[in-house]
Structure 1
């Protein structure tokens, strides 16, 4: 039914309220009408029974029908002052013995054959009601007569009709007032929604940080306002991150491109021998590789966000695979006088290549920041059904203001440190987080400037992420 209503919410609510009010008025009006008619019928029945009782007493004292026709005025006293009442007495052959003024014969009353049990009849075209019974004279059934009491309820019906008209007019006025009130109340109730729409029309990227005012209205609209403000906050955060991402991306792309352009300009500044050009090209290889890694990492993150990567899940020991990855970093660690210690064990179900990439990124990060002559610890163990992998170094630590953002793209707690060992231009930890999200796991960091930094990975069977390791 709602699809046939107007599109405006205000009009829809008004129409629905008016419909419900009309039904309620109609039911109440019908109930009042039925109550009045029931009262009319009950009053008619009571008065006819009173007259019938008096006539039965009177007839029981007579010996024959001669007493009925002998003194008509005596019988008229039973309905004196009540013009709406009349009666007639017939013998059992149907002959009229007595009829008061206003009595109109109705042939079905002569067919009643129920002695001592009054029967009520009514005409279909007039406002007349009849109460019929057979009364024996002097207590003898052989000399019985038929008594018919007539009640004319035309006045009551006219009163009911006029009252019904008044009720109908009152209901129409009530429905009109209900429509006006419903429209006004709906307009007032939806005014906060209109304010939300107005503010939403005024919204722009530069105003995402300005939330909607709190609505002093119903809980439903307050919840809508809170949800809208929450959406604005998330959009503002997303646009802020996107802006920072674009800025950081431009900065990190500019450095290798500047180096390449400078080398090319120097090479082209004057004529050079072939070996010199070869030397310039060879020196540019590192910058090309850096750009290639950056592009690969960005493509990986984009595919991970779209869940466009198919995982090859297999079972393996986390510590064993971590040792295999550390083998590729032994020379770098030895050059920095670092020792890598892998301990523990834990069987996990994950994509082996992605796990190795996460370990590689965290290990490269630890080597980049660990002080010389220190140890990088990698620990694996099972905890509450999950497998935890820790990466600890004795580096300078991460300030608390940077901890919450350390896994963001291009974010570096110390922008001045971008050495050849880490080589991730702020994407390595973001890739680690994407890998853990793909496995429905979790990752995090604990850092104390006086002690060092510990990164952790948690792999949970079934993908149910739990809290950080204790």
Structure 2
């Protein structure tokens, strides 16, 4: 049973065999019943015909004497006389003759005249268990005008019919069994051939390995029913290939990003321990190590946030927020850093966004800190809010070194830096813009960047109605 439940071919074969067996049994039953009804009709017509023959014989001259001396002559007119029974009853109820060698007991149906129909025939069962039929009619005894009317009862036991129908039933059962067996063999063969494309797909899928994700299943020879499956598998392989490539790149970038601070910590500590140092030198080493460790901590915290956001483990507690107020709060926090670089911060516009306050401020802070680091000294960084029919847009725009167009599509990728020469000299982890994109994805919005000759504008678009499903 476990194999039957686990095998699609076995289940389809079993259902096909069951359907064929039921169809064959139903057809055989219908044929059998039709055959039985036709045999009974013919036998009834034959029984009525024999009654008519006896009635004609009784109407001939001298029939009364023959009835007394040779009653078997009347039965001999019927084929299969050994199973035929005839009784003649006078009008007063006296039995004139009773041809019944086996002393069978059968019902006496009422006489319905000289020409009874099939409805006047009654059924009975012989002592041997054979079915029988009996009919009664009236006839003139003799050819005179004053001849009496007698009742003629003709009965017949059909032992040969029972044996014939039994053989017929056995043949029908055998034919149904053979049909089911033939259906099972044909179904198994057809399913084996029909499922061959699926086995080919399975063999091709088994060849897929992390190093062979670029392999695609051939859909040309697959039947139309399997085309959607092959297309879905190829699309899945494409997503896996993309995800695996991103994961490999992320792992390589992560190793590279961790290697530098770890190498700095290790190198500085080894140099410092190479010979005795003063207290001030040790304090300087500890301060430098703390700076590297803080950078590592920020990087780890950012990666954990990105991992949780990618697994839908961060649920934004969205609420209506006045966009200009949120921009002003972030600008106030970075005002001191901006003044140190001779920058000015300006907030403009209005509108309402439906967002998580903490996540929104984190996204804006990442954009503003990035703008403060890269803006030209003495320039103004503009934070703007614009409300529209499709939602509210927040932007951070600064003047600075232009970004090459080939870098724009990659700015929101993890650990990507448009200026590779910066190395690790600043506090950047290379994950700030990736976090911005993840936050916008949680809110169902988008993060984009536009760069001109000397202007760079990062835009956050929050759709009307709140965050959607990713």
The normalised TM-score by structure 2 is 0.81
The Cα shift of 1:39 comes to 1.4
After superposition, residues 38-437 of structure 1 pair within 5 angstroms as: 38-53=37-52, 55=54, 69=68, 75=74, 79=78, 86=84, 88-92=86-90, 93=93, 95-97=95-97, 99=99, 106-110=104-108, 112-116=109-113, 118-123=120-125, 125-127=128-130, 129-135=132-138, 137=140, 144-151=149-156, 153-214=158-219, 216-309=221-314, 311-334=316-339, 338-371=343-376, 374-384=379-389, 386-393=391-398, 396-397=402-403, 399=405, 403=409, 405-417=410-422, 423-437=427-441
Q: Distance in 2 between matches of 1:132 and 1:144?
A: 17
Quick check: 2:140–2:149 contact (8 Å CA) kept in 1?
yes
Quick check: 1:25–1:171 contact (8 Å CA) kept in 2?
yes
- Which one is further off, 313-322 or 241-250? 313-322
What is the RMSD of the two structures over their aligned residues, measured on CA atoms?
A: 3.8
Quick check: 1:135–1:145 contact (8 Å CA) kept in 2?
yes
- Runs of at least 5 residues in structure 2 that lack an aligned partner in the other structure: none
Q: Distance in 2 between matches of 1:94 and 1:216?
A: 90
The Cα shift of 1:28 comes to 1.9
Helix, strand or coil at the partner of 1:5: helix
Helix, strand or coil at the partner of 1:108: coil
The Cα shift of 1:97 comes to 2.9
Which residue among 425, 446, 456 is the counterpart of 1:443? 446
Q: Distance in 1 between matches of 2:288 and 2:357?
A: 34
The normalised TM-score by structure 1 is 0.81
Q: Distance in 1 between matches of 2:447 and 2:56?
A: 106
Quick check: 2:348–2:383 contact (8 Å CA) kept in 1?
yes
Quick check: 2:88–2:151 contact (8 Å CA) kept in 1?
yes
The Cα shift of 1:114 comes to 5.0
Q: Distance in 2 between matches of 1:54 and 1:342?
A: 123
The Cα shift of 1:428 comes to 0.9
The Cα shift of 1:317 comes to 1.0
Q: Distance in 2 between matches of 1:33 and 1:291?
A: 89
- Which one is further off, 245-254 or 409-418? 409-418
Q: Deviations over 1:376-424 (max 9, x none)?
A: 4333233346333233445634636752x54332233443445766x33
The Cα shift of 1:427 comes to 1.0
- Alignment partner, residue 465 of structure 2: 461
The Cα shift of 1:35 comes to 1.8
Question: Residues 350 and 98 of structure 1: is their aligned pair in 2 closer, same or farther, counting only changes over 3 Å?
Answer: same
Q: Distance in 2 between matches of 1:340 and 1:58?
A: 133
- Alignment partner, residue 19 of structure 2: 20
Q: Distance in 1 between matches of 2:256 and 2:351?
A: 40
Q: Distance in 1 between matches of 2:327 and 2:96?
A: 123
